[in-house]
Amino acid sequence: MKKNYLFKYRCWLIILIYPLLQNCQSPANGSKAESHSLPTYYGADDFPTIKKHDAHVHLRTDFDTLFIRQAEADNFSLLTVSVYTASGRPPEEQEKFSVKMKETFPSKVFYGTAFSLENFGKPDWEKQTINYLKSSFAKGAIAVKVWKNIGMEHRDDDGSFVMIDDPRFDPIWDLLEAENITLLGHLGEPKNTWLPLEEMTVQGDRDYFRENPKYHMYLHPDYPSYDELIAARDRLLEKRPRLRFVGAHLGSLEYDVDELAKRLDKYPNMAVDMAERISHLQHQAVSDWQRVHNFLIKYQDRLIYGTDLRRGASDIVAKGLEQPSEIAQHAHEVWLRHWKFFTSDETMEVPKVKGQFKGMKLPKEVVDKIYRTNAEKWYPGLLH
Using alpha carbons only, give the angle 337, 342, 346 rounded to the nearest 5 degrees: 75
pLDDT at site 317: 54
**Helix axis angle, 27-35 relative to 2-25, nearest 10°?**
60
Give CA–CA dist 43/367, Å, rounded. Answer: 11
pLDDT bracket for residue 324 (50, 70, 90):
confident
5-9, 78-82, 98-102: which range is least confident on average? Answer: 5-9
Domain span at 169: 46-383
Q: pLDDT of 177-202, one tens digit each?
A: 999 999 999 999 999 999 999 999 99
pLDDT at site 197: 98
Within a domain: residue 290?
Answer: yes
15-29, 218-232, 316-330: which range is least confident on average? Answer: 15-29
DSSP 100-138: HHHHHSTTTEEEEEE---TTTTSTTHHHHHHHHHHHHHH
pLDDT bracket for residue 36 (50, 70, 90):
low
Specify whether the CB–CB gap between 53 and 108 falls below 8 A: no
Q: Which of helix, strand or coil describes residue 247?
A: strand
41-50, 61-70, 173-182, 366-375: which range is least confident on average? Answer: 61-70
Q: Check whether 315 has a pLDDT greater than 90.
A: no
Within a domain: residue 31?
Answer: no
pLDDT bracket for residue 67 (50, 70, 90):
confident
Q: pLDDT of 334-356, one tens digit each?
A: 999 999 999 999 999 999 999 99
pLDDT at site 320: 66
pLDDT at site 211: 92
Specify whether the CB–CB gap between 259 and 253 falls below 8 A: yes
Within a domain: residue 7?
Answer: no
Q: Which of helix, strand or coil describes residue 219?
A: helix
Write the CA distances from 7 to 10, 12, 13, 15, 20, integer angstroms.
Answer: 5, 9, 10, 13, 21
Within a domain: residue 255?
Answer: yes
Give CA–CA dist 372/382, Å, rounded. Answer: 10
Give CA–CA dist 280/276, Å, rounded. Answer: 9
Give CA–CA dist 290/128, Å, rounded. Answer: 49
Give CA–CA dist 303/92, Å, rounded. Answer: 29
Q: Percent of the chain at pLDDT above 90? A: 80
pLDDT bracket for residue 360 (50, 70, 90):
very high
**Burial (Cβ within 10 Å: 0-12, 13-18, ≥19) of residue 358:** middle
If you average pLDDT over residues 154-182, what whole number do you get? 97
Within a domain: residue 51?
Answer: yes
Number of domains in the chain: 1
Give CA–CA dist 260/284, Å, rounded. Answer: 13
Give CA–CA dist 262/254, Å, rounded. Answer: 13
**Burial (Cβ within 10 Å: 0-12, 13-18, ≥19) of residue 300:** middle
CATH code at position 163: 3.20.20.140
**Burial (Cβ within 10 Å: 0-12, 13-18, ≥19) of residue 303:** buried
30-34, 89-93, 167-171, 275-279: which range is least confident on average? Answer: 30-34
Report the 10 Å Cβ neighbour count for 78. 28
Q: Check whether 32 has a pLDDT greater than 80.
A: no
Q: Check whether 53 has a pLDDT greater than 70.
A: yes
pLDDT at site 35: 44
Q: Check whether 6 has a pLDDT greater than 70.
A: no
If you average pLDDT over residues 220-224, what whole number do you get? 98
Q: pLDDT of 228-273, one tens digit each?
A: 999 999 999 999 999 999 999 999 999 999 999 999 999 999 999 9
Strand partners, 80: 57, 111
